[in-house]
Chains A and B, each alone.
Chain A
Amino acid sequence: MDMFIQIIVAAVGSGTPLLFATLGGILIERSGIIQLGAEGLMLMGAVAACMTYLNTGSLALALLAVFAVSALLGIIHGFLTVSLVSNQIVCGLAMTLFGAGLSAYLGKSYSGIPLPGSVPKWHMPGLESIPLIGDLFAHLDVLTWFSFLLVIVMHLFIHRTSWGLHLRAIGDNPPTADVMGIRVQAFRYGYIVAGSMLIGLAGADMLLVYSPTWTEGMTSGRGWIAVALIIFARWNPVRALLCAYFFGALDSIGFRVQLLGSHIPSYFLKMIPYIVTILVLMYLGWRNRNKPSGAPEALGIPYIREQRF
């Protein structure tokens, strides 16, 4: 039982950044914009958190800085993809490369310095006294609780509100949404900015909770896993939670096997999540070969009203 709880705790720990990034990506892609810049956004989020936290000593200011920086990057992404109608794949890759480069430059003098504190934990009254599984909840910090709440709110938002209906419509069929009086471009901007803020938060969460010092390229490909998770989760927030924890578990298993004193080189163990990504993609591709993927119909297609159809 102890072992089981340990694995779950570890899965939630390393799964939460993935969850934030996946939820942000879902928000953006549901509006019809391909999101490939997650890796860059996460790194920028992390470095912004690190710099602000070390300089001001305030966690709240650090989070504020994360949101400001990633919202700014979101606006740039929106300007490129929505207003200038440039290729969304190229834009995403550019965001990744830009974020990686800039964060490495900015973070140079902060590398390896431990943070002055960590994210406070929050104990929900009553939960920890539940027998057997009570221990699970003893380790949860505020950001993790926030991610739980976010999953529920996003699910209800998408399926139970008028704005959610608009979101589904602009991602599936923007000309229709436009004719119905929904401002497609404005909504797309909004969702890109909101989603980017969540992805930035994912980077910050990695830094603040998971590995509390800045190192260059510290996300080591998790942004890309989040891109794959969006597809595994079929653009659904609740499935995103399950997928993120599954990959979180894989991530921590490698670490654990190493502790057990195995002779497998650590490089191979670190490969596990990525190999599983490839295998799962292959399996899903084969299993769903006759089914719709769940992808928003207009994903990646820019919308221009006066284009002749």
Chain B
Amino acid sequence: MKPTVSVEMRQICKQFGKVAANDHVDFSANAGEIHALLGENGAGKSTMMCMLSGVYRPTSGDIRLFGKPVKIRSPKEASQFGVGMVFQNFRLVQTLTAAENIVLGEKSSFWRGARWMKEKQEEIRGISEKFGLAFPVDRPIWQLSVGEQQRVEIVKTLYRGASLIILDEPTSVLTPGEADQLFLTLEKLKAEGKTIILTTHKLKEVMAVADRISVMRKGRMIHTVDKNDTSERELAQIMVGKEISPPRELSKRERGESLLSVQHLDVYVEHGRKALDHLSLEVHQGEIVGVAGVAGNGQKELAEVLSGLLPWKKGRIVFNGREMKNASVRHAIESGISHVPENRMKSGLAGSLGVVDNLLFKSYRTKERSWLGFLRIGRNRQWSQELVEQFDVKTPDLDTPVQQLSGGNQQKLLFAREIHRQPLLMIAVHPTQGLDIGATEGVHRLLANLRDSGKSVLLISEDLDEVMQLSDRVLVIYNGAIIGEMSREEADRERIGQYMAGLQDNGEEAV
């Protein structure tokens, strides 16, 4: 039996200014299949899907939905055609309840009394139970977990009668357990004859759940294969366009003396929320310590406390044999702590300033860089030029605003600034987020080199593969505390996943 084609996109082009995000892309998916759209960051997957859901309009090309040629001019029209999309950054109004979010687009019935809302809540519960998507319908979104928010998003598309459901990087925010649960739901939807399109760059997921796979690279469609006719390795090669080097082997090293010791740290943040709860950890000289965990369990705060941005309430921090008394960024910098923050354009670099200025941020006080408060312009330019060459930052010139550089080059620049100061400890938060495989490889090499030269690295990342590949020791953070510790040899995905979900070795929930 020939499957029914539910969506067909032909020769799609999309220009953003001078940049072509999609270049003559063909794509099609069938009813009753899970179709994975695979590609690196910036390959143009999300742009394709945004055109299907009416957020962007194609510059040229045709779209056919369920056999009919259509022009999708707005998200509203997309929804009328039966297309529903779950965005990577959820489209939910934080202050409204889950149910209110779901009925938001509904035009019927002007008056929304208590009875009307009750009926709707029942209807929503019915849908969510049918597909195993439980969440509290009457609570505001900001009180729900990320996994629950995603379920709200999926139920929202179903409630609006979508028969084509697009999920953009759905597992990037989930624990491995939650991801498995999502895949079960997708299977149920597939059995109902829905078309599921899933964009991702994670090969394991693709092999686990997809029926067919389309691979994109640099805005072009490379090709579409059946899952049974391919392998992870082959997909990775198509995706990157070249042979990938095998996983990095860390050279054996004896661990040195203790460099950083954090003891029973309590940190409170906005709204009196307790972000770190009795957190203790130890970092030795010459080791990379990886901190894994689901986003929002205190990673950001841990990095901010150690780099002097956030004060702490209770506990001790001893660095290089001296106790840190209170939060001071300058003191942290001067005692040899470097920080690569999680959002490089938000708290790492000043986007509209040039390369030289950005490199100067942490060293302008030194005698080599300034004199009596005047910057040594000529000397600093030469110094910047050397760093740019040493760290292989590709930039048109030294005055180019850094926001115009690619993500990989921005990150290299940031690393150049942080590493040239010869720090004792490097705190790297999501250092490869949004980078392509080549740039990721470069960042990993920098971190490994630091370690091999006897420096220490605290690597905080949500990318399990990255943590397992680079770390001498793996810690798992949950609810503001370290609840699991493993050596490199002991660490495996399943065990880390369990800790990430807050479960102890015996399967009981951590307090």
Question: Using a CB–CB distance below 8 Å, which chain A residues touch chain B?
Answer: 160-166, 168-169, 172-173, 175-183, 290-292, 297, 305-306, 308-309
Contacts and interface: CB of A to CB of B under 8 A. Distances in A.
Contact of A291 (B53, B55, B75, B271): B271
A179 B93 contact: no
A175 B91 contact: yes
B16 A177 contact: no
Given A182-B104, A297-B95, A309-B89, 20 more contacts: A160-B111, A160-B113, A168-B93, A168-B96, A169-B104, A172-B94, A175-B91, A176-B93, A176-B101, A177-B93, A177-B104, A179-B53, A179-B91, A180-B104, A180-B105, A181-B74, A181-B76, A182-B76, A290-B270, A290-B272
B2 interface: no
Contacts, number: 78
24 contacts: A162-B106, A162-B107, A165-B104, A165-B112, A166-B104, A168-B96, A169-B93, A169-B96, A172-B96, A175-B91, A176-B91, A176-B93, A177-B104, A178-B74, A178-B75, A179-B55, A180-B105, A181-B74, A181-B76, A181-B79, A182-B104, A291-B271, A297-B94, A297-B95
Which 3 pairs show the lowest CB-CB distances between chains A and B? A181-B76, A180-B105, A176-B91
Nearest to A292: B271
A291 B270 CA distance: 8
**Most A-side CB within 10 Å, residue of B53, B75, B106, B271:** B75
A98 B234 CA distance: 67
B165 to A, nearest CB: 14
Nearest to B90: A176
A292 B107 CA distance: 30
B75 A172 contact: no
A183 B77 CA distance: 12
A305 B77 CA distance: 14
B248 to A, nearest CB: 33
A161 B107 CA distance: 11
B85 interface: yes
Q: What range describes how many residues of B lie at the interface?
A: 20 to 34
A44 B108 CA distance: 38
A305 B75 CA distance: 10
Given A290-B270, A290-B271, A176 B92 contact: yes
A43 B53 CA distance: 46
A292 B142 CA distance: 12
Contacts of A181: 74-76, 79, 105
Interface in B253-312: 270-272
Contacts of B270: 290
B55 A173 contact: no
Interface in B150-186: none
Nearest to B80: A181
A163 B105 contact: no
A101 B445 CA distance: 65
A57 to B, nearest CB: 39
A87 to B, nearest CB: 17
Contacts of B103: 165
Contacts of B56: 306
Contacts of A164: 112
Contacts of B93: 168-169, 172-173, 176-177
Contact of A173 (B53, B74, B94): B94
Interface string B54-75: 0111000000000000000011
B374 interface: no
B109 interface: yes
Contacts of B108: 162
B342 interface: no
Interface string B98-139: 001101111111111100000000000000000000000000
A163 B110 contact: yes
Nearest to A308: B16
